[in-house]
Amino acid sequence: MLRSRIIPCLLLHDGGLVKTRQFKEAKYVGDPLNAVKIFNEKEVDELMLIDIDATAHAQTPNFALLKGLAVESRMPLGYGGGVTTAQQATQIIASGFEKVSISAAALTRPALIHEMAEAVGAQSVVVTLDVRKNKLLPGHTIYTRNGTEKQKASLLEFCQQAVELGAGEIVINSIDRDGEMAGYDLELAKLVRKTVSSPVTMLGGAGNSTHMQELIDAVGVVGAAAGSMFVFKGPYRAVLINYARPDRLV
């Protein structure tokens, strides 16, 4: 039986971990290996790692770093950043990761989703879409390359296409709410959940376990991912890696 998952999402930048606010103001929050060891002890459902340099600078994944993190990890791991081929996805899975995420590469060449699903299995293929709410028109627009490039593809239509091509999970990341810790975009979550048959994970906005429970109550079984909530504490955003889950999680 499927159940909701609570997922820390950590951003890799220059070999360290950072946390952003609306995809800006990257603040150093620690060493990735140390974070993996801490989350091991917290017994998290899974951990998502996104390299925000790789795609933006046309870099390939840092396979040595990923292998080192996987060796230390006792929890399911997901990775995104710089993946452009099924062969790279296969290498990441072989190193010990359970999931591989693609974003810009999926929008540029949707066939890659199918190729990855054939190579590593649909359950390991994640399509992550960074979105920003439209200011004048209803709906949301997809952005790539750390929120700098606007895409023409319709969000809901591309979600459906990705699932048809073999994506085992869709992650929706709200740029507007990134690092704000004021709650998820529940209306967006409902729209995507209604549209997508595969598992859905929402990212962007969680500041406490109540926000996660609100998401779960609104859409049912879902992945509730967060960054700031797991690395900051208090009004001055002191760095403290932590993990909490809703008491009524279902």
Q: Evaluate whether residue 247 is within a structural domain.
A: no
Residue 249 in domain: no
DSSP three-state, residue 125: strand
Condensed to tens digits (0 to 9), the pLDDT of residues 31-79 reads: 999 999 999 998 899 999 999 999 888 899 999 999 999 999 999 999 9
Q: Give the Cα separation of 101 and 126 in Å (integer).
A: 4
In a domain, 211, yes or no: yes
Beta bridge partners of 150: 143
* Identity of the amino acid at 26: A
Which of these, 171, 220, 212, lies nearest to 194 by C-alpha position?
Answer: 220
pLDDT of residue 118: 98
Clarify whether 247 is annotated catalytic. Answer: no
Catalytic residue among 45, 130, 178, 185: 130
Q: Residue 245: is its pLDDT beyond 70?
A: no
pLDDT in tens, 207-234: 999 999 999 999 999 999 999 999 988 8
| CA–CA dist 153, 148 (Å, integer) | 15
Q: Provide the residue range defining the domain that includes 184.
A: 5-239
The CATH number assigned to the domain holding 35 equals 3.20.20.70
Q: Which of 134-138, 167-171, 178-182, 223-227 has the lowest mean pLDDT?
A: 134-138
One-letter amino acid for residue 228 of the chain: S
Only one residue has tokens 């609306």, namely: 22
Tally of domains within the chain: 1
Average of per-residue pLDDT across 141-166? 97
DSSP run (H or E) holding 105: helix 104-108
Residue 132 resides in a domain: yes
Greatest CA separation for the chain: 48
Q: How confident is the model at residue 129 (pLDDT cuts 50, 70, 90)?
A: very high
Considering the domain boundaries, does residue 245 fall inside one?
Answer: no
* 244 part of a folded domain: no
The pTM score is 0.95
Assess contact for 8 and 44: CB atoms under 8 A: yes
